[in-house]
């Protein structure tokens, strides 16, 4: 069993197409109880997400406990809180580091409120990660939407320069949060089919995974930062009666 745990709803970015939940954070002791409940349910993999998971100050302790129980830790991050001085300790218990990257154009990073010089920072992190921890997997997640669909080739060519393991192209799907505010962000079926045709048979040193609406609507188990368990399925979030805490 695998779950996505939104350990915090807080984020240091304001991406215009974000679909995060907005809930209160729990204390470390409360989250330890949730983690123990997941361990008892034989969870094999946790995707730690948010918000920005590294904003949760006790994330490292939870990752350590998870790892001690042989759970795979995947961390979804914008990487802006990682740097040369803290990277080693922050990826110590991480099996896969998943970095969000939608643009290499810094003007567009600013326009869509991802942040100035965001790509410059991500580049530095990408060059450091496997020097510090060679066995870690690096995955790049890219949301495919109206603002970057004609920039994907440039991003692909840039990624060829880095030692990554996977590039995941995720079709924008307005399910919650800010993603519901702008109806002009979504690409058409035909446009996304062209993305699939363009990248599905490429040969490079990393895997390309393409995530369309079918995959987005499959059942996902999400633990909210409030501790509630949600099943996201068919474009709807269904709160469970299951108790994790």
Query: Considering the domain boundaries, does residue 25 fall inside one?
Result: yes
- Judged against a pLDDT cut of 90, whether residue 175 lies above it is answered with no
Percent of the chain beyond pLDDT 70?
94
Strand partners, 208: 167
Residue 211 lies in a domain: yes
Predicted confidence at residue 178, as pLDDT, reads 57
What CATH number does residue 152 fall under? 3.20.20.70
**What secondary structure does DSSP assign to 157-212, as a single string?**
HHHTTS--SEEEEEE----SGGGGS-TTSPPPHHHHHHHHHHHTT--SSSEEEEE-
pLDDT-derived band at 14, boundaries 50, 70, 90: confident
Condensed to tens digits (0 to 9), the pLDDT of residues 74-105 reads 999 999 999 999 999 999 999 999 999 999 99
Residues 70 and 5: their CA atoms lie apart, in Å, by 17
State how many domains the chain has: 1
Is residue 165 a part of any domain in this protein?
Answer: yes
Residue 161 has a pLDDT of 97
Does some domain include residue 41?
A: yes
Residue 245 inside a domain? The answer is: no
Say if residue 145's pLDDT is above 70. yes
Q: Order of strands across the sheet with 236-239?
A: 207-211, 166-171, 137-144, 96-100, 72-77, 45-49, 2-6, 220-223, 229-233, 236-239
Q: Which range of residues forms the domain containing residue 191?
A: 2-239
From 64-78, 84-98, 203-217, the region with the lowest mean pLDDT: 203-217
Please check whether residue 58 lies inside any domain of the structure: yes
Q: How confident is the model at residue 177 (pLDDT cuts 50, 70, 90)?
A: low
Give me the mean pLDDT over the 160-179 stretch: 86
- Tell me if 194 is assigned to some domain: yes
In a domain, 244, yes or no: no
Phi and psi at 205, nearest 5°, equal: -85, 10
């Amino acid at each position: 069993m695998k779950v996505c745990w939104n350990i915090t709803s807080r984020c240091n970015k304001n991406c215009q197409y974000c679909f995060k939940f907005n809930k209160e954070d729990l204390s470390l002791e409360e989250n330890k109880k949730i983690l123990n409940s997941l361990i008892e349910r034989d969870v094999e993999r946790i995707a730690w997400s948010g918000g920005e998971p590294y904003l949760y100050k006790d994330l490292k302790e939870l990752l350590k406990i998870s790892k001690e129980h042989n759970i795979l830790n995947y961390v979804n991050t914008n990487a802006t809180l990682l740097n040369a001085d803290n990277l080693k300790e922050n990826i110590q218990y991480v099996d896969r580091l998943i970095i969000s990257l939608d643009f290499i154009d810094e003007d567009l990073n600013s326009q869509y409120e991802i942040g100035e010089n965001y790509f410059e920072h991500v580049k530095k992190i990408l060059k450091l990660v496997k020097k510090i921890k060679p066995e870690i997997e690096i995955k790049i997640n890219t949301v495919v939407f109206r603002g970057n669909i004609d920039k994907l080739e440039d991003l692909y060519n840039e990624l060829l320069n880095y030692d990554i393991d996977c590039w995941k192209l995720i079709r924008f799907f307005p399910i919650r949060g800010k993603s519901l505010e702008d109806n002009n962000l979504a690409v058409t079926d035909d446009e996304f089919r062209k993305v699939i045709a363009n990248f599905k048979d490429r040969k490079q040193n990393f895997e390309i995974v393409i995530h369309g609406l079918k995959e987005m609507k499959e059942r996902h188990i999400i633990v909210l930062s409030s501790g509630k368990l949600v099943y996201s399925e068919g474009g709807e979030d269904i709160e469970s009666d299951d108790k994790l805490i």
